[in-house]
């Protein structure tokens, strides 16, 4: 089953093919390098390698005019003027790469925008994440539907169509140290802890896929020491918000849908991120307001 938009299809096919290679290429690339990414976080060898691999391949697609990534300071424009009006891609090459040390789950996130970067989530035309778990899966949201695939040998095989969040939420996962949470968020978390089961693995993609599978809420809140939170709007908040909203859930920065946030601080802007079942996000917004 291919995606009807040929440029989106090319991005999805490239991501599917590359995911198998990225997974295999993690061996021997788990060590930290003496560099920080533009968000000031330590990079591992695999972060840089996956970024270069995806940049080269995604920029080679006809109809992709810009590539941006968590691992590089500047947006890369495609030299091809014929593509200048095309879609743009924003990528988190390895989400949760600190989990490489402990050999735990990780992901890759790609958002395809129909606007120059940085863009609003509402400008997304598709978003996908790859989860490197015991097997490699991909969740793809387009304007039409959300589908889950298994990836193997560079091929993708659809295993679920029209994916939606289960109605009865089961799991929650919140990032940041508890003493650094605001009082309002702490009060919300205390309620949720009595209702749902904790699932937090330190890679947003792993934790979000728990929410997609079982229903619930994932959040990385604004902290007392860092009100803007940790996760990045273009590479993490927007694409995950888009996927969850397409799957019938809600996204929020604590006040409004992530997809309606106007980027104002460049490509590496951070934001609090909350995604999950609609009633849980509604309650969160009421609590934080």
Ligand X SMILES: O=P(O)(O)OC[C@H]1O[C@](O)(COP(=O)(O)O)[C@@H](O)[C@@H]1O
250 binds, among ligand X, Mg ion, none (CB under 5 to 8 A by kind): none
Helix H or strand E segment including 33 = strand 32-36
Among positions 32-91, residues that touch Mg ion (CB under 5 A) are 70
Query: Least Å distance between CB 202 and Mg ion?
Result: 10
Among candidate residues 223, 215, 212, 213, the one with its CA nearest the CA of residue 192: 215
Query: Least Å distance between CB 288 and Mg ion?
Result: 23
Assign 3-state DSSP to the chain and report helix, strand, coil percentages, each to 5.
35, 30, 35
Under rule CB under 5 A, residue 95 binds Mg ion: yes
Q: Which is nearer to Mg ion, 236 or 245 (CB)?
A: 236
249 binds, among ligand X, Mg ion, none (CB under 5 to 8 A by kind): none
Under rule CB under 5 A, residue 5 binds Mg ion: no
- Angle between the N-to-C axes of helices 6-25 and 45-59, in degrees from 0 to 180, rounded to the nearest 10: 150
Which residue, chain included where needed, has tokens 């959300």? 146
Among candidate residues 270, 12, 263, the one with its CA nearest the CA of residue 116: 263
Query: Least Å distance between CB 159 and Mg ion?
Result: 24
Q: Is 200 annotated as a binding residue?
A: yes
Contact between 111 and 127 under an 8 Å Cβ cutoff? The reply is yes
Q: Is 195 annotated as a binding residue?
A: no
Q: Is 70 annotated as a binding residue?
A: yes
Query: Least Å distance between CB 174 and ligand X?
Result: 9
Which one-letter DSSP state was computed for residue 116?
A: S
Residues that bind Mg ion (CB under 5 A): 70, 92, 94-95, 236
Binding residues: 70, 92, 94-98, 200, 230, 236
């Amino acid at each position: 089953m291919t995606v009807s938009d040929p440029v989106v299809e090319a991005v999805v096919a490239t991501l599917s093919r590359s995911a198998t290679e990225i997974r295999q290429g993690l061996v021997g690339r788990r060590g930290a390098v003496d560099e920080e990414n533009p968000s000031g976080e330590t990079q591992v060898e695999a972060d840089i390698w996956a970024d270069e691999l995806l940049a080269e391949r995604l920029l080679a697609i006809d109809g992709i005019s810009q590539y941006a990534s968590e691992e590089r300071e500047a947006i890369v424009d495609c030299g091809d003027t014929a593509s200048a009006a095309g879609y743009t891609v924003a990528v988190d090459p390895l989400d949760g790469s600190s989990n490489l040390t402990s050999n735990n789950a990780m992901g890759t996130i790609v958002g395809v925008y129909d606007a120059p970067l940085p863009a609003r989530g509402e400008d997304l035309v598709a978003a996908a994440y790859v989860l490197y778990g015991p097997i490699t899966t991909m969740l793809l949201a387009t304007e039409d539907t959300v589908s889950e695939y298994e990836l193997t040998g560079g091929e993708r095989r659809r295993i679920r169509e029209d994916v939606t969040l289960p109605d009865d939420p089961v799991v929650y996962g919140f990032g940041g140290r508890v003493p650094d949470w605001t009082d309002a968020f702490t009060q919300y978390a205390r309620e949720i802890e009595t209702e749902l089961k904790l699932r937090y693995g330190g890679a947003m993609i792993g934790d979000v896929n728990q929410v997609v599978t079982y229903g619930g809420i994932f959040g990385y809140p604004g902290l007392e020491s860092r009100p803007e939170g940790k996760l990045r709007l273009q590479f993490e908040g927007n694409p995950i918000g888009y996927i969850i909203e397409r799957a019938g859930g809600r996204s929020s920065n604590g006040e409004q849908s992530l997809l309606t946030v106007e980027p104002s601080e460049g490509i590496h802007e951070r934001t609090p991120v909350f995604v999950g079942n609609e009633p849980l996000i509604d309650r969160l917004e009421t609590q934080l307001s």
